[in-house]
Structure 1
Amino acid sequence: MCLRITLYAIPFSTHTEAGPKLDVQQVLSTVDDGGGTACGVENARVTYLDSHGQKRAFEYIKFADSCNEGR
């Protein structure tokens, strides 16, 4: 029996099916619903300026920061 595994690296800035490619010139702020110690999914929001100087915001879900701290 032979198992072949091929891994592909995907650049962070590549457009994915998960969402649109954003035109971000400068990040103004990032906030999330976190604050708890439990690992889980939480809402987050990034406010940014696009390449035309327009202030925009993008809301998304992410794993809580505590998920990366070995808790």
Structure 2
Amino acid sequence: MKASLLVLALCGFSAFAMAEESGAKVAEHQARAEQYTYGTHLDIAKVVSVSNVPNVCAVVPMRMTYLDSQGEQHVMAYQVMGNGCSNG
């Protein structure tokens, strides 16, 4: 009985540690985004992901994750107009 409780406690602790590590990786990934400016040289070989444009009528921040021609992953931060504006 004690052995199963110990195994259960260790499993819970390792799950918590893994969640903490993945949270740190997400924070690091978000922190190193390059800000796009007019004239920025873009070396995009493959787009990995693009954040969704919200349904608001305002300028919103976006992120694009891509691979360059050397295979290195980058995150580009930029702004777009939201999808919530009507033309009428």
* TM-score normalised by structure 1 residue count: 0.60
CA distance in 2, matches of 1:45, 1:56: 10
Match of 1:47 in 2: 65
Q: Which has the higher strand share?
A: 1
CA distance in 1, matches of 2:65, 2:59: 20
Contact 1:32 1:42 in 2 (8 A): no
Could you tell me how far 1:65 is from its partner in structure 2? 2.1
How much is the aligned-residue C-alpha RMSD, in angstroms?
A: 2.2
Q: Which has the higher helix share?
A: 2
Structure of higher CA gyration radius: 2
Counterpart amino acid of 2:75? A
- Aligned pair count reads 52
CA distance in 2, matches of 1:18, 1:65: 22
Provide structure 1 residue ranges, at least 5 long, that are not aligned to the other structure.
1-16
SS in structure 2 at match of 1:66: coil
Identity, % of aligned positions? 31
The change in CA–CA distance for 1:32 and 1:44 in structure 2 (over 3 A counts) is: farther
Runs of 4+ aligned residues of structure 1 deviating over 2 Å after TM superposition are none
Contact 2:65 2:76 in 1 (8 A): yes
